[in-house]
Amino acid sequence: MRELIVYGLESSFARAIRCVEDVTEDEARSMPHALSPIIWQLGHLVVSDAGYLRRAGGTVELPAVYGTLFPTGTGGQAAYPELTEARGFFEQIQRGLVEAARAADLSRPVEGRSYSTAGEVLIFVGYHRGYHVGKMTTLRALLRKPRLFG
């Protein structure tokens, strides 16, 4: 079970990173059709994954501004951090999530609407990331970036 969870974390992480690795800072902030930009998508994953990591028993420290820029319901134009900064936090949190998948008590109860144990939280991460990878691939297409998957 642990290796399946790690696989889900690693594959969803790789897809998200692939979506941003050739994106410029200007492209990351672009809002075609008034959609929340790529930097928001990645920043939202950072904030969400940090919460999932805490529920799974890990810790991470994010700048306070992330809590106001990236929660559900935000987006649009804002003074976003650099894409490289958000990517660095995403990588750090990924390491913590993989560590939790390998060592945490997966049956430990946690609070949440979509999961009830630490193991379910770690599985949910892949689902949530996949949703935002879809958003990023749409934004990439609108920015005329190369197709990545399929």
pLDDT tens-digit map of 61-106? 999 999 999 999 999 999 999 999 999 999 999 999 999 999 999 9
Residue 92 domain flag = yes
Locate all alpha helices (DSSP H) within 25-117, ordered by sequence. Answer: 25-29, 38-55, 64-69, 83-103
**pLDDT at 64 (0 to 100):** 97
3: enclosing H helix or E strand: helix 2-20
Between the alpha carbon of residue 6 and those of residues 9, 11, 33, 73, 98, the distances in Å are: 5, 8, 35, 29, 6
**pLDDT at 106 (0 to 100):** 97
CATH number at residue 27: 1.20.120.450
How far is Cα 16 from Cα 38, in angstroms, rounded to an integer?
10
Quick check: 10 and 29 in contact, CB under 8 A?
no
Band the pLDDT of 149: cuts 50, 70, 90.
confident
State the burial class of residue 94 (Cβ atoms within 10 Å of its Cβ: 0-12, 13-18, 19+): buried
Name the residue range of residue 43's domain.
Answer: 2-142
Band the pLDDT of 150: cuts 50, 70, 90.
confident
What is the per-residue pLDDT across 22-62, written as a single tens digit (0 to 9) for each? 999 999 999 999 999 999 999 999 999 999 999 999 999 99
What string of DSSP letters covers 131-142? HHHHHHHHHHHH
How many domains is the chain built from? Answer: 1
